Amino acid sequence: MTDSIERTSIQKDLEVLEKMTKPKDLFRLANARRMALRQQSRRLPSFYWILATMSSCFVIGFMLFPIESVTPNGVNQSVLNVESQISQNQEYVMADDTDFYYWLDIYDE
């Protein structure tokens, strides 16, 4: 079969395929044409909606539940901060208590 005959036969089949467009699709095409001629804004593709929803969920998640910093040894930084605060408080308490034991110094002398 030569190329030209083959090509003509394929073209003929494709033309029939065009004619076989379903009425539902013809209606949708007519609607698309009408919207394009009026330059009405189109809806965004669903893919972008999914992406936008996912990214906004991540942002909200990070805002509500911030990731706590962890030291390289795996110790939670907030726990270390609390411990250092406790030890500082104990030193204050001890410094206050020394006034109470002033009389010990008298006996030592």
> Smaller CB distance to another protein: residue 44 or 93?
44
Residues in contact with another protein by CB under 8 A are 3, 6-7, 10-11, 13-14, 16-22, 25-26, 28-29, 32-33, 35-42, 45, 47
Supply the minimum distance, in Å, between the C-beta of residue 58 and another protein.
Answer: 13
Supply the minimum distance, in Å, between the C-beta of residue 93 and another protein.
Answer: 57
Supply the minimum distance, in Å, between the C-beta of residue 60 and another protein.
Answer: 20
Strand partners, 76: 70
- 70 — phi, psi (to 5°)? -125, 135
**What's the distance, CA 102 to chain centroid?**
63
> Smaller CB distance to another protein: residue 14 or 82?
14
